[in-house]
Amino acid sequence: MSGAQPIHAELIAVIVAVSDGAPKVLTLSDGSALPAGPLESGHQSLQAGLRNWVERQTGHTLGHVEQLYTFADPDRSRAGRSISISYLGLTRETRTKLGGQVSWQDWYRYFPWEDRRAPATGIDLTIKPGLARWVDEAADRQSRAVRCFALDGAPWNEDLTLSRYELLYEAGLVREAARDGRPVHGDFAPGIAMTADHRRILATAISRLRATIKYRPVVFELLPDQFTLLDLQHCIEALAGHTLHKGNFRRLIEGQTLLEETGTLASGPGRPAKLFRFSAAIRAERAQAGTRLPLARP
């Protein structure tokens, strides 16, 4: 087999925190790029390399870290091919000073259509006409658009963030598509663009995280040590992009051994809520255990 070639490898990180009821992502260049850096020689493993590098650059300790996807750049210069390995990392947003153009951004700035917590945002109205034009051009597009955007009465599936972004890209309804020279089909969907394929990587991270929280208790990496059941619910709703039924949520959580009471109460308006922490077993296993959250769809 011939054609093996030297290659340049880079790590791209999607660092996620939740604060003020919004999921945030750590960005460079005033929100237009994800943090990235070359794979360095000293690193034991890719994951260790990423942790080390993020902690040095941002001062944030990463809790859960998960590999997302590896991309190869097809048409880079003769100088050598480039491979990007992307990661999702969870942390708590601390008020540490951030360097010049480093900032936390609400991830729904990039994907407004993914936030369905408040009803009737009218976002679909912006997207649907362009989508309709694209669908009419070929026969096999209909069912894909229907499934991704729940066009008929079908239920919205929050895990399809990546599929939806890819569809909008193919349909020429995001700026990146126009930038890459693809045909457009109308006004761009709302939401701001990013460098290269960074918005696609962010969509991958959202899809993955939304899928992960359903069966593994990774949310605890995003919450403070103590929290109320409503805090937990709001955190999950922020990530999932839709609201949950309070009573059913509590029933499911309390039916498991996920949490334990701290014995203290939260203050604030209204009746004080019990404070909880994740149970010792869960903390020891660092999110290895299984969980059930009321997000699975029939």
Residues at the site binding a second copy, with contacts judged by CB under 8 A: 1-9, 37-46, 49, 53, 67, 69-72, 74, 80-81, 83, 85, 140, 143-144, 147, 157, 163, 281, 284-285, 288-290, 292, 296, 298
Closest CA to 90 of 65, 120, 60, 53: 65
Tell the burial category of 242 from Cβ atoms under 10 Å away from its Cβ (0-12, 13-18, 19+): middle
Binding site partner of 40, from DNA, a second copy, none, Cβ cut-off 5-8 A by kind: a second copy
Q: Provide the minimum distance between the beta carbon of 152 and DNA in the complex, in angstroms, as a whole number.
A: 17
Q: Which of residues 191-250 bind DNA (CB under 7 A)?
A: 228-230, 245-248, 250
Task: Please tell me the distance from the alpha carbon of residue 287 to that of residue 48, in angstroms, as a whole number.
Answer: 18
Binding site partner of 43, from DNA, a second copy, none, Cβ cut-off 5-8 A by kind: a second copy
- Of 26 and 235, CB closest to a second copy: 26
Residue 155 interacts with DNA (CB under 7 A)?
no
Task: Please tell me the distance from the alpha carbon of residue 255 to that of residue 251, in angstroms, as a whole number.
Answer: 6
Q: Which of residues 279-298 bind DNA (CB under 7 A)?
A: 292, 294, 296, 298
Whether the CB-CB separation of 242 and 156 falls below 8 Å is answered with yes
Q: Residue 27: what are its φ and ψ, rounded to 5°?
A: -130, 165
Q: Provide the minimum distance between the beta carbon of 289 and DNA in the complex, in angstroms, as a whole number.
A: 17
Whether the CB-CB separation of 250 and 294 falls below 8 Å is answered with no
- Of 109 and 292, CB closest to DNA: 292
* Cα 9–chain centre separation: 23
The Cβ of residue 36 has, within 10 Å, a number of other Cβ atoms equal to 17
Residue 270 interacts with DNA (CB under 7 A)?
yes
Q: Provide the minimum distance between the beta carbon of 294 and DNA in the complex, in angstroms, as a whole number.
A: 5
Task: Give the three-class secondary structure for 167.
Answer: helix
Q: If binding means CB under 7 A, how many residues of this protein chain bind DNA?
A: 24
Query: In whole angstroms, how far apart are CA 40 and each of 47, 61, 73, 109, 254?
Result: 12, 19, 19, 32, 45
Q: Provide the minimum distance between the beta carbon of 10 and a second copy in the complex, in angstroms, as a whole number.
A: 8
Task: Please tell me the distance from the alpha carbon of residue 230 to that of residue 155, in angstroms, as a whole number.
Answer: 25
Interface with DNA by CB under 7 A: which range of 45-53, 90-98, 167-175, 266-274? 266-274
Residue 268 interacts with DNA (CB under 7 A)?
yes
Q: Kindly list the residues in this chain that would bind DNA in the complex (CB under 7 A).
A: 228-230, 245-248, 250-252, 254, 266-274, 292, 294, 296, 298
